[in-house]
Homo-oligomer: A and B are copies of this chain.
Amino acid sequence: MIRDEKLIFEKSVEGRIGYSLPENDVPKVDLEAFYPDEFLRKTDPELPEVSEVDVIRHYTNLSKRNYGVDSGFYPLGSCTMKYNPKINEDIASIEGLAQMHPLQDPQSAQGNLEILYNMDRYLSEILGMERVTLQPAAGAHGEMTGLMIIKAYHMHRNDSKRVKIIVPDSSHGTNPASAALAGFEVVHIPSDERGCVDIKALESILDDTVAGLMLTNPNTLGLFEEDILKISKMVHACGGLLYYDGANMNAIMGIARPGDMGFDIAHVNLHKTFSTPHGGGGPGSGPIGVIKELVPFLPVPVIEKVNDSFVPDYDRPLSIGKVKSFYGNFGVILRAYSYIRTMGAQGLKAVSQAAVLNANYIRKKLEDYYEIPYNRTCMHEFVLSAQKQAKSGVTALDIAKNLLDEGIHPPTIYFPLIVQEAMMIEPTETESPETLDNFIEIMRQLAVKAQDDPESLKNAPKTTYVSRLDEVKAARTPVLRWKK
């Protein structure tokens, strides 16, 4: 590893250039004459002055301090860090698809609109929904969109007393946050001892102030809500709508569908289930599907097929409007489209089967070493607890940091909040049994060490570019930018 401590700004040398632009070939405008003086910049922004070589080396070397799915195992629970097929990257950079302006005349963008239209069809089929909007930029954004639709639906019926959204405590954190942001009152319900929605508790709060319920399913414990049909019937019975957080669709593709479960709205995360890369933080894409009754409320435009031509339809009086510019994250959608077209129905089902088998395999192999709070057949992921280890002073954090030294990305830790010392493990279907076995072996060794020699686990990571970082300091006295 090359140690290069500098920021790109610290490599700047006055007068050095890294760009290659065409020479200006039109008359020059005298800025001072054309613009009022106070509009013109007085001090240059502190951008670095570096050569192309500098830039390439800087970011290439930075990349080496980062771990991606192509580096190795990445069982980050809830994030579905599956392998991102390379062909999809190639597809996304076909100039004839990518170099398109969103406001072009639809007649000149029929290829892209056809992709969007078909993607709506495919995802509708996968979710068991009527139509899908591809506009939301991420899962959380899909949730917001769904909640706006719930609101619009009730308001359209002049039912303005429905102000509550019910959210089980095993739901993903974005669920309550989105509900709050959409202007709802969030009502939590606890999980029962099996890790599922407590039906009694649910029953007790259902009334005509309930706008809807948001269910992460499989939930953040990796469990399928066994009473899901009961739940959807109960909520519908009281007049509420049902929102399905389908970020965990990787567990059930081709096996079961939110629409069939009685849900009215569901989102999927293309950047998880549909193998588009997460880009170190994004971009993602969080399409939502809705049942027939809710189609009028979808954001505009909806792409319609009219006589073999694809037309963005803006004339939708009940639409909630727009939740994002243009058509959504087309570049991400393209990759997911490619994925669906290469996998087909049987491929997607095989994905879910393998994902679930892999998770259960690890669960089974670790159950003698770690506490597993809800230890039964899980879906695509499960949550273990390092509480046993914590007794000898070794926390989930310590275990995670030791995994770093073994070349493995740790599971999600301290999430979900309802499990203490949680480690949420999601292997995905793209990992081989050998990779799983290697992980299991290391996890077992760590469990043994936690008992025999807990101190030995406190100094990890030792092999990374930096050792443990002081997060408290970062938050107390935030340094959020470089200054000259």
Contact = CB atoms under 8 A, between A and B. Distances in A.
Contacts of A57: 70-72
Contacts of A71: 2, 57, 60-61
Interface in A10-61: 11, 13, 16, 20, 51-54, 56-57, 60-61
Q: Which secondary structure dominates where chain A touches chain B?
A: loop
A53 B60 CA distance: 22
Interface in A405-434: 407, 430-432, 434
Given A20-B342, A70-B56, A342-B20, A3 B85 contact: no
Contacts of A1: 1, 463
A126 B71 CA distance: 45
A70 to B, nearest CB: 5
A83 interface: yes
A407 B86 CA distance: 30
Interface in A66-124: 70-72, 83, 85-87
Q: How many copies does the complex hold?
A: 2
Contacts of A3: 407
B13 A54 contact: no
A161 interface: no
Contacts of A52: 83, 85-86
A144 to B, nearest CB: 34
Given A3-B407, A61-B71, A83 B53 contact: yes
Interface of A: 1-4, 11, 13, 16, 20, 51-54, 56-57, 60-61, 64, 70-72, 83, 85-87, 342, 407, 430-432, 434, 463
